[in-house]
Amino acid sequence: MNSPTDKLDDDKILKMGGAPVGRMEFLDLEEYTIISFLRRWCDGDISRSHLNKELIINLGYAEGNLTFQSFKDLCEIIFHHGRRSLIRHQLDCNCVGADESCFAQLILRAANNYKEDAILIALLLVPPHLTSQTVSLSEKIGTAIKQLIVSDKKNVMVN
């Protein structure tokens, strides 16, 4: 049975996930992009649709759809099977929340071949039986984001 103290602890833990740990303006482009994608995903169907279209435009039809599907699957695992609710800041907020940073680090570690780190982060977010799938999806997403950024830099240099 939960006591009033347990309820206070639960509220504190939930608030800690949203505690600011950084600012968007100081992030590298990969981390900024991941958190931006997360916030847009959480913003609703219209934002999700725009995200899907942007991925298709920038990565091509097949790769864009695959990346969007991987992102969708990752978010569904985390939001429906996560150890607790993931807390995110609003779309236009300049703060980076602790949970958002954790989400970004999961994807970055997986994409940069730091598998053990990615597994540890995944274990913080989801039950053990979903860890492998979570890391695999994160790797696909992170690799696509890296490709997106490289391609964007090439376009800037040409223009």
* Domain boundaries along the sequence of the chain: 22-158
Residue type for position 94: N
CA atoms within 13 A on the CB side of 31: 19
Q: Is the Cβ–Cβ distance between 101 and 38 less than 8 Å? A: no
In angstroms, the CA 106 to CA 140 distance is: 12
pLDDT tens by residue, 17-66: 888 899 999 999 999 999 999 999 999 999 999 999 999 999 999 999 99
At 6, the pLDDT band (50, 70, 90 cuts) reads low
User: Which contacts qualify for 76-83: CB closer than 8 Å, 24 or more apart?
Assistant: 77/126, 77/130, 77/133, 77/134, 77/137, 78/103, 78/125, 78/126, 78/134, 81/126, 81/127, 81/130, 82/125, 82/126, 83/124, 83/125, 83/126, 83/127
pTM of full prediction above 0.95: no
In angstroms, the CA 119 to CA 125 distance is: 10
pLDDT tens by residue, 91-133: 999 999 999 999 999 999 999 999 999 999 999 999 999 999 9
